[in-house]
């Protein structure tokens, strides 16, 4: 079946604005169409580079998900498995000068691309004349085009050499919250673009307002002297100007610890806004926008450095909730590395299992975990001593609770 472009595919499902006058002037676009016509990924990268709270959100999610990756080959000799790991760290290095650490670098790039761009993709390049991979090329998702075909979606790469179809056997693509209608995925910042614009505008307006209100001015009012009887106009103007200049010189020479002593015809006022309520409420306005942004990036304000009176119990609950989300996202990375490492192993002629897992153990809540383990162990021992379980059953129960608690 001949593939249709995304624009042709979406044109058939575009709503008819003429049928409903309330929809006149509006156009409903699917996520793919919006991606195709606007540089959304460039916008997300710009926001993350220029807005601290969004940069902190992407940084935090990336670092929390990029826990130490444990790769094991149970069916291979230890020497062969160690050499395979060393070769992978060298092959997957993003730069020639880095020499090693390729798996960790690729892991961070995987999660950053997933959260910031909404997707991650790259192509495995074979080593000519040898068994194995030469490198893994990450491809900028802004250069990708998706076309609907009879068997799903076909991905094309726009480069200097033209438009090239990517081979599904060597190219890997994964999207965050991708759907059959939008295989590109969805960025973590997709819902906070407008709110972050308001937050930046509020900061700009607040700085201008506080700069204007924060520096009060001293206004000195002089009562115009009365003209003496028989005094000429020139003499009167000269006397008034001299009195004005003497008063100005008095205030110019005042030190911070001095006081101004004048006749009662001099009035000193402080010029500034009489109502500071608007300036003092900026904090509440900004807090509301910050909380809205935090809701969009699935984080609490305290996780991004904002102290809004969160209790320790609530913080522990939110962190445990985040860990559940992190484990779900890490499954995508496990699938990617299982494909990539499995490809390298197959090219080298190795067979057997590949066990990939993240080490998500942490210091936070360690006391509670050890107490829970102590209680579970004491319960199993009591059951064995009471004759309710055999020695083998008790040992099996102990082995099951070990990884569950630690």
Q: What is the pLDDT of residues 156-173, one digit of tens each?
A: 888 888 888 888 888 999
Please measure the distance between the N-terminal and C-terminal CA atoms of the chain and give it in whole angstroms: 53
Q: Say yes or no to pLDDT of 212 above 80.
A: no
- Between residues 100 and 79, the one the model is more confident about: 79
Single out the residue of 134, 233, 186 nearest to residue 329, CA to CA. 186
Q: Say yes or no to pLDDT of 111 above 90.
A: yes
Single out the residue of 369, 401, 398 nearest to residue 384, CA to CA. 398
| pLDDT at site 26 | 34
Per-residue pLDDT tens over the stretch 66-76: 888 999 999 99
* pTM, full prediction: 0.64
Question: For the chain, what's the residue count?
Answer: 406
Per-residue pLDDT tens over the stretch 189-210: 887 767 777 777 777 777 776 6
| pLDDT at site 208 | 73
- Least confident residue range of 42-56, 216-230, 309-323, 344-358: 309-323
| pLDDT at site 291 | 75
* 202-230: burial string, b at 16+ Cβ within 10 Å, e else: beeeeeeeeeeeeeeeeeeeeeeeeeeee
3 — pLDDT class (breaks 50, 70, 90):
very low
For residues 56 and 300, what is the distance between their CA atoms, to the nearest angstrom? 12
| pLDDT at site 36 | 42
Mean pLDDT of 1-9: 36
6 — pLDDT class (breaks 50, 70, 90):
very low
Residue in the block written with tokens 């080593």: 127
Mean pLDDT of 365-389: 81
C-alpha count within 13 angstroms, C-beta hemisphere, residue 34: 14
Q: Say yes or no to pLDDT of 340 above 80.
A: yes
- Between residues 334 and 39, the one the model is more confident about: 334
Angle at 278 between CA 272 and CA 283, to 5 degrees: 120
Q: Say yes or no to pLDDT of 337 above 90.
A: yes
| pLDDT at site 400 | 79
For residues 74 and 353, what is the distance between their CA atoms, to the nearest angstrom? 6
Tokens coding 395 = 């040992």
């Amino acid at each position: 079946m001949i593939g249709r472009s995304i624009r042709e595919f979406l044109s058939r499902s575009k709503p008819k604005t003429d049928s409903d006058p309330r929809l006149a002037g509006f156009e409903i676009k699917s996520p793919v169409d919006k991606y195709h016509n606007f540089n959304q990924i460039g916008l997300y990268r710009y926001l993350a580079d220029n807005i601290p709270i969004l940069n902190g959100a992407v940084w935090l999610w990336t670092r929390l998900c990029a826990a130490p990756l444990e790769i094991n080959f149970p069916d291979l000799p230890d020497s062969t498995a160690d050499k395979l790991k060393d070769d992978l760290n060298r092959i997957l290095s993003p730069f020639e000068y880095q020499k090693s650490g390729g798996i960790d670098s690729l892991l961070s790039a995987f999660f950053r691309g997933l959260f910031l761009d909404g997707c991650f993709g790259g192509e495995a390049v074979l080593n000519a004349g040898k068994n194995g991979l030469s490198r893994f090329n990450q491809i900028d998702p802004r250069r990708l085009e998706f076309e609907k075909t009879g068997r799903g979606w076909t991905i094309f790469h726009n480069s200097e050499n033209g438009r090239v179809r990517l081979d599904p056997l060597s190219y890997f693509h994964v999207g965050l919250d991708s759907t059959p209608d939008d295989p590109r995925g969805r960025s973590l910042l997709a819902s906070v673009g407008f709110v972050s614009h308001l937050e930046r505008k509020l900061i700009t307006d607040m700085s201008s307002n506080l700069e204007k209100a924060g520096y009060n001015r001293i206004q000195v009012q002089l009562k115009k002297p009365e003209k003496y009887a028989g005094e000429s106009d020139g003499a009167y103007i000269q006397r008034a100007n001299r009195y004005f200049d003497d008063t100005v010189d008095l205030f110019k020479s005042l030190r911070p610890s001095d006081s101004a002593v004048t006749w009662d015809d001099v009035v000193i006022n402080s010029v500034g806004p009489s109502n500071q309520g608007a300036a003092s409420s900026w904090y509440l306005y900004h807090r509301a926008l910050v909380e809205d942004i935090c809701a969009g990036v699935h984080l609490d304000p305290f996780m991004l450095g904002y102290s809004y009176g969160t209790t320790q119990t609530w913080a522990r609950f939110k962190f445990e909730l985040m860990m559940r989300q992190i484990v779900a996202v890490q499954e995508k990375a496990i699938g990617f590395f299982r494909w990539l490492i499995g490809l390298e192993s197959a090219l080298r002629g190795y067979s057997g299992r590949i066990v990939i897992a993240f080490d998500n153990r942490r210091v936070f809540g360690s006391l509670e975990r050890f107490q829970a383990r102590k209680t579970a162990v004491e319960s199993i021992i009591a059951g064995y001593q009471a004759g309710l379980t055999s020695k083998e059953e008790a040992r099996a129960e102990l082995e099951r609770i070990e990884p569950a608690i630690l």
